[in-house]
């Protein structure tokens, strides 16, 4: 192999006069090749990212949606404070969440016996902690607006608490779906929490965001750019899906 050539994971060879430090345009070209050739390393990182973020989104939806609905319709002393705290938690710094989960899952921590630190499970836990307040706060607002509209009718039908929550969640399902998509987008884009509890171990806990951070710091731009393309595409796709869903639901159901 000539010194100004590198072998890609797919088996192809890339050569440049400026290797081992390609120019920006060469890095971009290589990044595109990595994506279009479905480079195994890129693919593995993307799939792990999707798995971790999907699992954490599902968990946060199961926790956050009913919690948001309950806070929306319950009336109790201190409710205003709870809502304020929930809204504030939306802005939790990911690194702080990572630190807190690290302390919980470390050997000296209360959940150290689980033995999940530096595994994808720990990353799922951290992202769940991070996005559950977001899901709960946004769903609280949506459900509360629906509750204001439906309250008298549901009271007239003598619906119990469980039925009210289920009805409100179902009636606002399309708006809540966009909340869940927003949660997924936040999970997929964050780096602070997963890098602390996951350790960014190659082939084990390296996801798109942590890989971009590492490869950029090493000066290995092609892989960072390739993952960046995928991440941006993912975020755009999520937002497009959310917007389309909102429009379709408005036209279909009024």
Applying CB under 8 A, does 157 fall inside the site for other proteins? Answer: yes
Cβ at position 79, least distance to other proteins in Å: 20
* Closer CB to other proteins, 79 or 173, in the complex: 173
Rg value, the chain, Cα? 22
List, in order, residues 6 or more apart from 227 with CB less than 8 Å away. 42, 45, 46, 208, 211, 212, 215
Applying CB under 8 A, does 252 fall inside the site for other proteins? Answer: yes
Applying CB under 8 A, does 3 fall inside the site for other proteins? Answer: no
Applying CB under 8 A, does 155 fall inside the site for other proteins? Answer: yes
Concatenated DSSP letters for 188-199?
A: HH--HHHHHHHT
Which of 139, 167, 209, 210 is close enough to bind other proteins by CB under 8 A? Answer: 167
Among 10-18, 34-42, 120-128, 146-154, the segment contacting other proteins (CB under 8 A): 146-154
Applying CB under 8 A, does 162 fall inside the site for other proteins? Answer: no
Task: Kindly state the tokens that stand for 51.
Answer: 């798995």
Q: Please, what's the largest Cα pairwise distance for the chain? A: 81
The interface with other proteins within residues 169-228 (CB under 8 A) comprises: 171-173
Burial class of residue 101 (count of CB atoms within 10 Å of its CB; 0-12, 13-18, 19+)? buried
Among 35-43, 157-165, 216-224, 235-243, the segment contacting other proteins (CB under 8 A): 157-165
- Separation CA 202–CA 214 (nearest Å): 10
List contacts with other proteins (CB under 8 A).
149-150, 152-153, 155-159, 163, 167, 171-173, 252-254
């Amino acid at each position: 192999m000539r010194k100004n050539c590198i072998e890609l994971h797919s088996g192809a060879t890339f050569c440049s006069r400026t290797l081992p430090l390609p120019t920006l345009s060469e890095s971009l070209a290589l990044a595109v090749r990595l994506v279009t050739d479905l480079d195994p390393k890129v693919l593995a990182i993307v799939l792990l990212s999707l798995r971790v973020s999907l699992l954490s989104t599902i968990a946060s939806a199961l926790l956050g949606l009913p919690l948001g609905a309950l806070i929306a319709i319950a009336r109790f002393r201190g409710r205003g404070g709870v809502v304020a705290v929930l809204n504030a938690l939306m802005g939790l710094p990911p690194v702080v969440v990572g630190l807190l989960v690290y302390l919980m899952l470390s050997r000296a921590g209360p959940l150290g016996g689980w033995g999940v630190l530096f595994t994808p499970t720990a990353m799922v836990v951290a992202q769940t902690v991070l996005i559950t307040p977001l899901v709960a706060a946004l769903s609280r607002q949506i459900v509360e607006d629906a509750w204001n509209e439906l309250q008298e009718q549901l009271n007239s039908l003598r619906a119990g608490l469980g039925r009210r929550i289920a009805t409100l969640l179902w009636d606002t399902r399309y708006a809540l779906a966009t909340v869940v998509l927003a949660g997924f987008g936040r999970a997929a884009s964050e780096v602070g929490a997963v890098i602390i509890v996951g350790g960014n171990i190659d082939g084990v806990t390296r996801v798109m965001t942590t890989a971009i951070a590492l490869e950029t710091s090493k000066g290995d731009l092609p892989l960072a750019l390739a993952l960046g393309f995928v991440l941006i595409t993912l975020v755009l796709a999520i937002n497009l899906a959310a917007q389309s869903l909102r429009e379709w639901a408005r036209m279909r159901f009024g």
